[in-house]
Structure 1
C-alpha cells in the first residue's frame, strides 16, 4: 500500500486506509490535530458544554462524549488501533428558543479526516473547510514561514562589500545537540539546591505558617536558596511579627515589593532582611484593596454592556495597588462616555466578549484569543469605536480559542510522553494554535531529537535559550532546515 505523505514541516501524521482513499479521495489526506480542531469548529459551537448551563444533564453527556471524541482522534494521531465508538451529543437546534436536538455519532474510521467528516455530517454541518485542503504531492517540499528574512532585507553593497551580514537562522536539531549538554549540566546543578529549598520551605511553613513560597525572577537557584535562608533567619529572630503578616499567605521572592493582584506577598530579592520587615507591616492594608477590585471590575463591566473583565496572566507580577489605579482611571473615562456607549451598542449585551485592562504603554488591540487589551490612557471614544468595529472578529477568535484549547492540553501531554520530557510548557504569548502546531512537529521529528531532549524540561517561546535551571527554550516556529 502506498501512503501519501505530507512534508515534515506540515505537522501531520494520520494514516488513511486504501479503501477510504479509493472511495473518497478528497476526504482522505493526512489531517493534523490542529486542522481537525479547525474543521470541528462549527460542531463545537453547537455542543460545547458551556452553552448548556440551564441543562445540567445534557451538559454532562456532552462533556463525556467530547472527551471520548478527543481520545479517539488522539489514538488515531498516535497510529493506534481503535474500536468502533458510539457517541451521543445534544446540539443547539434553535438559537432563539434554545431547543435541543439529540445527535448520535458512530465512529469506526481509521482516518482522522474521515472521523471529522462523520461528526460534521451527523450534525448536518458543512464540510467546506476540509474540502478546501488539497493533497500535497510527495515530491513537494513546503517550507514553514518564519517571518521575513532580515538578512535579505538589509543586505546591501558599499564599495563592492556587503555591510550587513545575513542573519543566520538556527536549526533546531543541531541546536539541541549542541545545547542539551548545557541543559543537563544546569539541571544537575539546580537539583543540588532543590532539597535545601524544600527543607527551608517546610521549616517556614511550620515556623510562621506561610502557605507557599515561590520564586519569580530571572536569577538562578543559588540566589533563591540564599533569599530563603535570609527569610528563615528573619522569621527565627522575629517569629511573632513575621507570623502576624505572613501566616496563611503565599510569599513570592521577586523583583517587586508589596502585594500582588492575586494576594501574594512579594519581597524584593535585592533588599536586605530589615527592609523586608518594614515592608511586611503594610501587608494588611492591601486586604481592603483586594476586596474592592472585584466590585470595580463589576462596575466596569456594567459600563460596557456587561463585557467580561478578565485578569490577564503575566510573566511579571501585577501589583494590587497598580491594578486599582488602572481600574479607577478607565472607570472615570467610561463614565464620561456613556452616551457614546448607548449610541454605539444600542443596548446590545456584550457579555460574550472579554476585555483586559492594561497599563498606559500597552496598545489598543484584539489578541489572537479574542480578548480586548484596553490601555487606560486611551480616550473612551476610541475604546468604544474599536470594540464596535471589531466585535464580530472578536467573537470568531473566541470561538476558535474554545476549539483549540480543548485539544491543546492533550497535544502537550502526548508530546511530553512521546519525547520523554520532564516538563513541557509555553509562554503566555504563545497561542493554542501555535503550541499545537509546535508539538505536532516535534513529534514528527521524534527520531532526530529524542536523544537530545529525553529527560529535560522544555518551554515553547519566541527564542532559543537555556535557563539557569536547565529548561530548554525553543521558538514555536522552529526550523528543521539547514541554511
Structure 2
C-alpha cells in the first residue's frame, strides 16, 4: 500500500509540473507576440503598399482579423478558437534602400488553428517563410523547470528590442528607421499636388469613357434582373470592375434563367462566392461561370437561412429589452450566412435556457453585436455592446442594464460625429468643386472631419474636378483618383 501511495504522489507531482509548463507555454504576452511578429508586420504593413491599393486593403483587413484572433487567445478561459483563413501580400525587403522602392510582393494564404498565442505566432512566421527559430528558443526556456521563480511564481520576460547592430549584421531592415525616413521625406500637400495633378487629370480624362460604360452596364444588369444593387468588396479599378460586369453579362446571355434567383438581392463581386450575413450574393472574382451557376442554384436555400437569421434577431431583441442585433461594419460583408445563423441560433438557445429578466423596451435604441471570437461582454467605443455567443445568461442582464446609460451617451456622440462628417463633406465637395469625395474604411469620422475642415480653410485650387479619396498615404491611382493622407502637411 505504501508503494502504491508513493507512486500516486510521484504521478501527481509530475502532472503538476507538466500542467505548469503548459500554462507557461500559453502565457505569451501581447508585447512578446508583437515583438516576435516584427519581421512579419514589417513585411505586410499597409503603409508600405501605398502604390498598390488592392494589396494594401487585403493586408489591412487580414491584419485586423489576425489581431482579433491573437487577442481572443490571450483572454482567460479561452480553450479553443475557430480556425481562421488569412491572406497576406508579403513584400520583398531584400533590395532597395527606401520603403517605397518595392522590388515586388507575393500572396500567401494560410489557416490558423492554434490554441495558444505562441503556436499561432510560429504558424504565421513559418507560413510566410520568415525566421522563427527565436520562438523555439523561447519555448524551450518557458517549459524548462529553471524558468520558474520561487514558490511557482511566473517568470518575467523582457520584450525584445533589437540593437541596431542586429540589422547591420543580418541584413534585415530596421522598421523604426524606415518609418522615420518615410516621415522625413513625406511631402506637403501643396508640393505633391503641383507635381501629381497633371498626371491625375490625364488619367481621369482617359478613364471617363470606361466609367460611363461601367455605369451603363451596371444599370442595365440591375434593371434586367431586378437587382437591388451591384457592388464590389474591394477597391478595384474601373477596368477591373468593368471586366467583372462583362463576365456577368455574358453569363446572363448564355443562361438567362439561371440568374432569376438573384432578383431582389444585392450582388457583390468578392473574394469568395456565397451569401454573406447581410443577405448579399457574393460572386467570387476568381471563380468561373460554372461555380457561379452552382451558387445561384443554392440561393433559395441560403435565402431561407437569411430569413431564419432575421427571425432569430427579432427573438433575441425581444429577450434583451428591444436592443437591435447589428452586424459589424466589415463582418457583415465577409461573414458567410451559415456561420452567422449558427452563432445566432446558439446564442438564442442559451438565452432560452435561462429565465431572462430584462425589462421590456428598456434597451430600445441600443445595438449589440454577437461576436463568436470573444469571451467577455464589453461596450464598444461607438456605443454598441459586444456580446460573446457563450455569455452567461444569468449575468448578461445586469451587465446590459448597468452599461446602458454609457452606451446611449456613446451612441449619441457617434451620431453627432457622423452628422458633422456628412455636413463638412458636402461643404467640402461643393466649395472645392471636387468631382467626388470619399474615404477609406480605416478613416474615422473625426479624422475625415478634421481633414475636410483643413481643406476648406486652405482651399487648394489644384483639387478642382478631381476624384479625391481621404486615405493614409499619397497616391494617384490608375483611374486618376487622388489619395491624400487625412493628416496631410502644408
Q: Normalising by the residue count of structure 2, what TM-score does the alignment of the two structures yield?
A: 0.56
What residue in structure 2 maps to residue 270 of structure 1? 286
C-alpha deviations, 1:219-276, integer Å up to 9, x for none?
322222222222222221222233x323444322222312334433221111111221
Indicate conservation of the 8 Å contact 1:361/1:375, yes or no: yes
Structure 1 residues 331 and 458, CA gap change in structure 2 (3 angstroms): farther
What residue in structure 1 maps to residue 35 of structure 2? none
The structure richer in helix per residue is 2
For 1:350 and 1:233, how far apart are their aligned partners in 2? 49
Structure 1 residues 277 and 396, CA gap change in structure 2 (3 angstroms): same
For 2:420 and 2:194, how far apart are their aligned partners in 1? 30
Structure 1 residues 330 and 468, CA gap change in structure 2 (3 angstroms): farther
Indicate conservation of the 8 Å contact 1:219/1:468, yes or no: no
What residue in structure 2 maps to residue 260 of structure 1? 276
How many residues end up aligned between the 2 structures?
320
* Structure 1 residue 281: Cα displacement: 0.8
What is the SS of the residue equivalent to 1:266? Answer: strand
Match of 2:257 among 231, 235, 240: 240
Structure 1 residues 200 and 317, CA gap change in structure 2 (3 angstroms): same
Indicate conservation of the 8 Å contact 2:344/2:370, yes or no: yes
**Runs (5+) with no aligned partner, structure 1:** 1-153
Match of 1:305 among 321, 344, 351: 321
Match of 1:454 among 461, 464, 469: 464
**Runs (5+) with no aligned partner, structure 2:** 1-160
Structure 1 residues 266 and 468, CA gap change in structure 2 (3 angstroms): farther
* Structure 1 residue 417: Cα displacement: 1.3
* Structure 1 residue 468: Cα displacement: 4.2
* Structure 1 residue 349: Cα displacement: 1.7
Q: Where does 1:174-253 land on structure 2 (aligned, <5 Å)?
A: 174-205=191-222, 208-242=225-259, 244-253=260-269
Structure 1 residues 450 and 378, CA gap change in structure 2 (3 angstroms): farther
For 2:207 and 2:372, how far apart are their aligned partners in 1? 35
Indicate conservation of the 8 Å contact 2:322/2:360, yes or no: no
What is the SS of the residue equivalent to 2:182? Answer: coil
What residue in structure 2 maps to residue 419 of structure 1? 432
Indicate conservation of the 8 Å contact 2:374/2:387, yes or no: no
For 1:363 and 1:417, how far apart are their aligned partners in 2? 46
What residue in structure 2 maps to residue 108 of structure 1? none
* Structure with bigger RCO (C-alpha 8 Å, 6+ apart): 1
What residue in structure 2 maps to residue 471 of structure 1? 481
Structure 1 residues 198 and 416, CA gap change in structure 2 (3 angstroms): closer
Q: Normalising by the residue count of structure 1, what TM-score does the alignment of the two structures yield?
A: 0.56
Q: Does 1:168 align with 2:177?
A: no
Indicate conservation of the 8 Å contact 1:369/1:431, yes or no: no
What is the SS of the residue equivalent to 1:350? Answer: coil
* Structure 1 residue 413: Cα displacement: 0.8
For 2:419 and 2:385, how far apart are their aligned partners in 1? 21
For 1:194 and 1:377, how far apart are their aligned partners in 2? 48
For 1:275 and 1:366, how far apart are their aligned partners in 2? 41
Match of 2:422 among 387, 397, 409: 409
